[in-house]
Structure 1
């Protein structure tokens, strides 16, 4: 096996911790990603508040969500007379496109395995508890699982991502290497300790149980635009948790009857079929405040979003993309039981 000892960079960066965004903020980012991606025009704040009211969010909570998202640099505001409007900064637009591709392509294929693990070991002094916690959070975002307190593993080759993470945090003495498990052929103890596949399976099954009745209803009759917007947003809000929760284990490591494919097919069916009526409702609400802007709204299918390419030229590592998704509140965060 080949290992790499990682030393701290002179000016390490900091890692933002994953967090569970408030419901209005998650709804807002989902709606903008679904109907306003890659647009630079600003939407009147009253229209955004009205959109959130479709989901039972009060005006006070909606305006608070706008302020919080803007305070984190994920929206920028402008004024025209007495009207305040919000839009996506150029960098955020590029990241949203990259995130959309990740979100809507996730689960389309199952990776193959070369039989090797990426292993990370580290020792962080007790007086650097915040750094140790940030390192663990970063490893979780990279879908590593913990087999011992300071030994984390992934079946994917994420050596470069971990090296960057460790350097940005200023952790000294961490080691990352690729290795095979050679003691015996039974991988169940490793999987049970590192990845709670039972809880993840239950999460997928709950997703299927919650949304299958919607698919059955759609097979009989289409919903009105108002209901279409609610149903389409609901299933995408639920689906977007899985790229964070699911470590995307190779086929060789998955239990029999893994339900992700069924869940994804259900999501594609509902999300794509509701696109046109949901877009119509989004436009109707926006037209109450700015008819010209309403004409710019557009929906996308799974296949269309998967084909999008961001104009950004900077190369993103997996760690960069994970951090950006967290900054945009597009990570669901929280535990599997949530």
Structure 2
């Protein structure tokens, strides 16, 4: 199970449509992650995900698939089934929480350092290559060359490499660019800035319209869509140093809009979750 799979979404004319698994983990990140060893009744999950357009059968099949892939665990109490997080899913959600609430989308304090990762894998290792590239992308790396990836800052990806079993095939360095290197050109050549900027612009447009339309009466569904879309928006952004990005980079206004909606829905969503969700301890 890879982080990019969790955060994947389908683009439509109305914006990204997160897959049921993305919405499921956003749900657990919103309402379970900070509660400790808690499981949620499947009927409660069906209710909440139904508010964002996921049908009962899709919820049930997603729950089963996520249990099989080691992302959720279940506990039966009588005729009711409860679902809680595994350590793997907790890691992914904690990483996402750091990206959303601690790091943010704007990198104003870059220290000039870069992390470089070189790898050479056998041609037959297609899955391993896909997994490594996916995890590197989520960690902020871009392909400087086919087997040499780079990320701004001092990034610790040793755990990712060990987890994938690729330590013998990967070399990691931390360095600074020589004065002869045109950093802005390197950034434009390594990352698709236009695509990243477009995600922010569209997110800002959609959610500014939501704010202008008023609060609505479903804060738990609104917050679920908000967090899922924001994770999809930032997943391709390596938090490049702000001073080397084009003027009027749209990440800042998009992040301000995200936080405004998040602040507006936090309390009401928490109260609604307390009323709607039936939970138990996953002893």
Query: Considering the TM-score relative to the shorter chain, is it more than 0.5?
Result: yes
Q: Distance in 1 between matches of 2:94 and 2:148?
A: 34
Q: Which moved more, 1:194-203 or 1:93-102?
A: 93-102
> How far off its partner does 1:205 sit?
0.1
Match of 2:115 in 1: 118
Match of 1:274 in 2: 265
Q: Distance in 1 between matches of 2:163 and 2:73?
A: 31
Q: Deviations over 1:23-68 (max 9, x none)?
A: 2222222222222333333322122112222222221111111111
Match of 1:205 in 2: 201
Match of 1:223 among 216, 219, 223: 216
Q: Distance in 2 between matches of 1:171 and 1:25?
A: 29
1:26 equivalenced with 2:22 (yes/no): yes
Name the SS of the counterpart of 1:84 in structure 2: strand
TM-score calculated relative to the size of structure 1: 0.68
Between the two structures, name the one with larger relative contact order (CA 8 Å, sep ≥ 6). Answer: 1
Q: Distance in 2 between matches of 1:71 and 1:177?
A: 36
Alpha carbons of 1:253 and 1:167: their partners in 2 closer, same or farther (altered >3 Å)? same
Name the SS of the counterpart of 2:33 in structure 1: coil
- Aligned pairs for 1:178-189 within 5 A: 178-182=174-178, 184=180, 186-189=182-185
Kept in 2: contact 1:106–1:243 (CA 8 A): no
Q: Deviations over 1:172-213 (max 9, x none)?
A: 464433444447353333112211111101110000111101
Match of 1:79 in 2: 76
Q: Distance in 2 between matches of 1:90 and 1:280?
A: 27
Name the SS of the counterpart of 2:116 in structure 1: strand
Match of 2:33 among 11, 32, 37: 37
Name the SS of the counterpart of 1:241 in structure 2: helix
Q: Distance in 2 between matches of 1:206 and 1:165?
A: 34
Q: Which moved more, 1:233-242 or 1:261-270?
A: 233-242
Q: Distance in 1 between matches of 2:22 and 2:232?
A: 11
Q: Point out the structure with the larger strand share.
A: 2
Structure 2 residue runs without a partner (length 5+): 10-17
Alpha carbons of 1:145 and 1:89: their partners in 2 closer, same or farther (altered >3 Å)? closer
Structure 1 residue runs without a partner (length 5+): 1-14, 297-338
Match of 1:56 among 53, 58, 61: 53
Kept in 2: contact 1:111–1:250 (CA 8 A): yes
> How far off its partner does 1:164 sit?
6.4
Kept in 2: contact 1:111–1:248 (CA 8 A): no
Kept in 2: contact 1:43–1:85 (CA 8 A): yes
Q: Distance in 2 between matches of 1:94 and 1:127?
A: 29
Q: Which moved more, 1:50-59 or 1:122-131?
A: 122-131
Alpha carbons of 1:68 and 1:250: their partners in 2 closer, same or farther (altered >3 Å)? same
Q: Distance in 1 between matches of 2:134 and 2:235?
A: 12
Q: Distance in 2 between matches of 1:76 and 1:67?
A: 9
Match of 1:138 in 2: 135
Match of 1:263 in 2: 254
> How far off its partner does 1:214 sit?
1.4
TM-score calculated relative to the size of structure 2: 0.80
Kept in 2: contact 1:138–1:165 (CA 8 A): no
Q: Distance in 1 between matches of 2:126 and 2:94?
A: 35
Name the SS of the counterpart of 1:169 in structure 2: coil
Cα root mean square deviation, aligned: 3.1
Alpha carbons of 1:261 and 1:272: their partners in 2 closer, same or farther (altered >3 Å)? same
Q: Distance in 1 between matches of 2:149 and 2:255?
A: 28
Alpha carbons of 1:130 and 1:17: their partners in 2 closer, same or farther (altered >3 Å)? farther
Q: Deviations over 1:111-150 (max 9, x none)?
A: 4334343333333333444444443333323222112222
Name the SS of the counterpart of 2:144 in structure 1: strand
1:165 equivalenced with 2:165 (yes/no): no
